[in-house]
Amino acid sequence: MKKTATRLADGRELIYFDESDSAVRDAVDQRDLPPRPPASELRYDPLVDEWVAIAAHRQGRTFLPPADQCPLCPSRPGRPSEIPAESYDVVVFENRFPSFAGGPEVAGSAGVGGLTGEADLFARRQGVGRCEVVCFTSEHGGAFGSLSPSRVRTVVEAWADRTADLSSLPGVEQVFCFENRGEEIGVTLHHPHGQIYGYPFVPPRTRQMLASARAYAERTGGNLFADVLAAERAAQVRVVAQTRHWTAFVPAAARWPVEVHLHPHRRVPDLAALNDAERAEFGPLYLRVLRALDRYFAPEGGPDLPLPYIAAWHQAPVHTDRDLAALHLQVFSIRRAANKLKYLAGSESGMGVWINDGRPEDVAARLRALADEGGRG
């Protein structure tokens, strides 16, 4: 793989990840772009000990353009895009409408760790960090599930590279790689792509999981993530698919109508820590899972029904609790039937108490059968 970094017309970084070492990337972005937006603002919510990002400039981001105006397709004569090249394999670039950007962090009250007065009740910080877009292919149609295993390997290399680089930036506390798929999820660009956030704090879900892992270690001496994986592999009833280095399973207390977790068998803190064998083996397994997901609600004998989903890589924080964390991928969907969506209503949104209409074991059994069919095909 060949990595080539360049700059867009407004100074944002763009990086090509080419599968051929002979690729030449000398095209220059000739667009006349406006200045980059200011950093967002973080406001502290003392009631739940969480930060909220205020990024008003994102209201103007691109929204569902027609295919011939897609900003993620390669540039062509008279139609420049975010990628100043005729074609590409995998590309990563700084988001034009970032939720977090800039650094190092401006000094000021962090707002966490003890309230001392009105200033801490309304604490604010600059929303430093980094937001990047990852284009999985130059082809506008298709989806991650239609990529080749070799292309998935290139994407994994890009994720690992960006995880390492963003982890070294001042002010970044956690790196989050993710993909949103489908308008039902809120996707605003149909081109196959994902995003990477470099957060200036450890997000709430990570803090909650690590607190649980810490309490479990103190109580049992074991690692919570490793023991959950071992228990799922032993039970097998919720396992969807597995290989030498990875297992995909439906969690026993799944919140979403369709939810699958993929864990490497060797506990590692982040994507950058995966070895060559683990990186190579991930793609074939993940593609089987994604194709099973697209068949989950499809009519018997009918065409696939593309599943709207979020694919979220959970990685260790950059500076804390890396010994407790374990890399894993969570894939989940809000679709609960072929023509129905799950809405987070009163109990989930108001109180954080989840209610799942299906049994995880039943979901796993159907996905396992579909994944086995895909594996034989």
Alpha-carbon gap, residue 158 to 276, rounded angstroms: 14
**Rounded (5°) CA angle 150-151-157:** 95
Alpha-carbon gap, residue 306 to 308, rounded angstroms: 7
C-beta separation of 86 from 76 below 8 A: yes
C-beta separation of 135 from 192 below 8 A: yes
What is the DSSP-derived secondary structure letter of residue 272?
G
Q: Is 140 annotated as a binding residue?
A: yes
Alpha-carbon gap, residue 226 to 263, rounded angstroms: 9
How many Å is the Cα radius of gyration of the chain? 21
Which residues are within 8 A (CB) of 215 and not within 5 positions of it... i.e. 6 or more apart?
Answer: none
Question: Where are the alpha helices (H) located in 267-343, listed in sequence order?
Answer: 276-296
C-beta separation of 310 from 259 below 8 A: no
- Tell me whether residue 14 is exposed, middle or buried, using C-beta atoms within 10 angstroms of its C-beta: 0 to 12, 13 to 18, 19 or more: buried
Q: Is 135 annotated as a binding residue?
A: no
Q: Is 328 annotated as a binding residue?
A: no
Q: Is 191 annotated as a binding residue?
A: yes
Integer angstrom CA distances of residue 230 from 206, 234, 263, 325? 21, 6, 10, 15
Residues identified as active-site: 193
> Which residue numbers belong to the known binding site for Zn(2+)?
70, 73, 140, 191
